[in-house]
Amino acid sequence: MLNHLLTVILLLICTCAYLRAMAPSLLDKNKTGLLGIFWKCARIGERKSPYVAVCCVIMALSILFSD
C-alpha cells in the first residue's frame, strides 16, 4: 500500500515539474490554495531533481522485482 502511494507521489512530482518546464504560466498562476499543491510539487521536482530521479529508479526497480 505504501509502495503505491509513494509511486503516485513521485509521478505527481515528475509530472508537475515537466508541465512547469513546458508551460510555466499554467502552474505559476496558482501558487496558493488547493491548486498550489501542483506548484509546490513542481518546485520540489526542480530543486531536488537528483533525489527525485534516484527515488524514481528505486521505485521502478522495486515494482519490477517485487512479488
Whether residue 67 is predicted with pLDDT greater than 70 in this model: the reply is no
Domain count, the chain: 1
Across all residues in the chain, what is the average pLDDT? 88
Residue 62 burial (CB count, 10 A): 12
**Model pLDDT, residue 38:** 93
What is the per-residue burial (b if ≥16 Cβ within 10 Å, else e) of 4-24?
Answer: eeebeebebbbebbebbeeee
Taking the C-alpha atoms of residue 10 and residue 38, their distance in angstroms, rounded to an integer, is 12
State pLDDT tens for residues 16-59.
999 999 988 888 888 888 889 999 999 999 999 899 999 989 88
Q: Which residue range(s) make up the domain with 59?
A: 1-66
Taking the C-alpha atoms of residue 40 and residue 8, their distance in angstroms, rounded to an integer, is 15
